[in-house]
């Protein structure tokens, strides 16, 4: 497909700040050069997920070259594999109707189900993906899934032990509101680099972050794994009271990462704020054209691309 290759060839040199005009490469070399830096994103859907389209759009805006929405049944039958992707997105929704608790049934499926074509556990695909240093983002229900699988916080690289949960909001009701989030500058998180704070909506009934005990919370803080906390609108002070902390999370935690910063989960929805018209006050105050949520995805894609080019 020469036309497609030429377009990506041009974009490659634009990203590097170099002119593409006048360069002469054979198509095979050119294709290899571009394909090496391709970023392939997968958005997992099915059984109650409802934010896959917005998440796919966010990946495209973030610069991902390939964006596939894949039903979990496609992984289970073997027609798709996580091995073929660089960036796994676990979007929001209500997996299995939140039966057994938010994302618990979904976690059990991944732990116990096997791939029809190979017989391997689906969990083994997840663990292989992670151990190869690839990136995972879980939003809302996806964050709940990661925590209940044990993918977060994954102390000492143990991705199968659950150290915390996300449970019912202290308000006793579903919360649909916008929140200010202070970003920890000492966090290892790759997704939030260069960011002081972010303004995003929450939409959940079970968003209260609850660690197993105080020691878990101390380890999260001590190891730079607390990424986001509910705050004031200046992103200066952490606020524990309602409604700024909409769910009663311990230490106002809104998002955490693993020790490498390559796995990140948060309750607020970055894919819900991708352009100015999604801001709740866009008709009443100046708002940048690009929504704040795009930065999380572009940071991820740029990190993956740099790693690929360095190989």
pLDDT at residue 244, rounded to an integer: 98
Which residue(s) pair with 200 in the sheet? 179
Q: What average pLDDT does range 159-169 have in this prediction?
A: 98
Please give the structure tokens belonging to residue 63: 């610069």
Spatial separation of the C-alpha atoms in residues 9 and 33, rounded to whole Å: 8
Spatial separation of the C-alpha atoms in residues 292 and 228, rounded to whole Å: 14
> Of these residues, 51, 140, 189, 257, which one is catalytic?
140
> Of these residues, 54, 175, 206, 271, which one is catalytic?
271
| CA 55 to centroid of chain Cα atoms | 9
pLDDT at residue 28, rounded to an integer: 43
Q: What is the pTM of this model?
A: 0.89
Please give the structure tokens belonging to residue 26: 């054979």
Please give the structure tokens belonging to residue 50: 């409802």
pLDDT at residue 17, rounded to an integer: 55
- Residue 91's Cβ-count burial label (10 Å; 0-12, 13-18, 19+) is buried
pLDDT tens, residue by residue, 34-89 = 567 899 999 999 999 999 999 999 999 999 999 999 999 999 999 999 999 999 99
pLDDT at residue 24, rounded to an integer: 39
CA nearest neighbour of 155 among 220, 61, 60: 220
Do residues 209 and 164 touch, judged by C-beta distance below 8 A?
A: yes
Task: Please provide the DSSP assignment of 7-75 as one string.
Answer: HHHHHHHHHTT---TT----HHHHHHHHHHT--EEEEEE-TTB--HHHHHHHHHHTT-SEEEEEEHHHH
Q: What average pLDDT does range 236-248 have in this prediction?
A: 98
Q: Which residue has the higher pLDDT, 1 or 7?
A: 7
- Residue 148's Cβ-count burial label (10 Å; 0-12, 13-18, 19+) is buried
Residues 6+ apart with CB under 8 A from 10: 20
Spatial separation of the C-alpha atoms in residues 136 and 128, rounded to whole Å: 12
CA nearest neighbour of 12 among 304, 305, 311: 305
CA nearest neighbour of 125 among 111, 138, 137: 111
Spatial separation of the C-alpha atoms in residues 208 and 248, rounded to whole Å: 6
The yes-or-no answer on residue 57 being catalytic is no
3-state secondary structure of 233: coil
Domains and CATH numbers, the chain: 40-310 (3.40.50.880)
Q: How many CB atoms lie within 10 A of CB 111?
A: 15
The yes-or-no answer on residue 206 being catalytic is no
pLDDT at residue 305, rounded to an integer: 96
pLDDT at residue 311, rounded to an integer: 82
Q: What is the mean pLDDT of the chain?
A: 91
Spatial separation of the C-alpha atoms in residues 91 and 50, rounded to whole Å: 8
Do residues 107 and 145 touch, judged by C-beta distance below 8 A?
A: yes
């Amino acid at each position: 497909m020469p036309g497609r290759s030429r377009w990506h060839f041009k974009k490659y040199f634009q990203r590097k700040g170099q002119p593409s005009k006048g360069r002469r490469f054979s198509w095979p070399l050119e294709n290899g050069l571009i394909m090496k830096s391709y970023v392939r994103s997968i958005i997992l859907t099915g059984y109650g997920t409802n934010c896959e389209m917005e998440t796919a759009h966010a990946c495209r805006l973030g610069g991902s070259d390939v964006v596939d929405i894949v039903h979990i049944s496609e992984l289970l039958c073997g027609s798709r594999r996580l091995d073929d992707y660089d960036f796994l997105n676990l979007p929001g929704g209500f997996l299995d109707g939140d039966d057994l608790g938010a994302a618990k049934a979904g976690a059990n499926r991944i732990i116990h189900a096997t791939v029809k074509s190979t017989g391997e556990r689906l969990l083994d695909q997840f663990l292989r993906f992670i151990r190869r240093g690839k990136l995972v983002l879980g939003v809302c229900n996806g964050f709940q899934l990661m925590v209940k699988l044990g993918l977060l916080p994954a102390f000492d690289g143990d991705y199968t032990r659950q150290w915390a949960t996300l449970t019912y909001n202290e308000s006793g009701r579903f919360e649909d509101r916008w929140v200010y989030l202070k970003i920890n500058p000492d966090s290892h998180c790759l997704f939030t680099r260069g960011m002081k704070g972010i303004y995003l909506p929450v939409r959940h009934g079970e968003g209260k972050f609850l660690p197993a005990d105080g020691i878990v919370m101390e380890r999260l803080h001590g190891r730079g794994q607390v990424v986001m906390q509910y705050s004031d609108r200046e992103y200066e002070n952490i606020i524990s009271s309602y409604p700024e902390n909409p769910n009663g999370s311990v230490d106002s935690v809104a998002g955490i990462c693993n020790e490498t910063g390559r796995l990140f989960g948060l309750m607020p929805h970055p894919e819900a704020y991708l352009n100015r018209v999604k801001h709740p006050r866009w008709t009443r105050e100046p708002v940048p054209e690009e929504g704040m949520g795009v930065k999380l995805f572009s940071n991820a894609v740029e990190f993956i691309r740099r790693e690929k080019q360095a190989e």
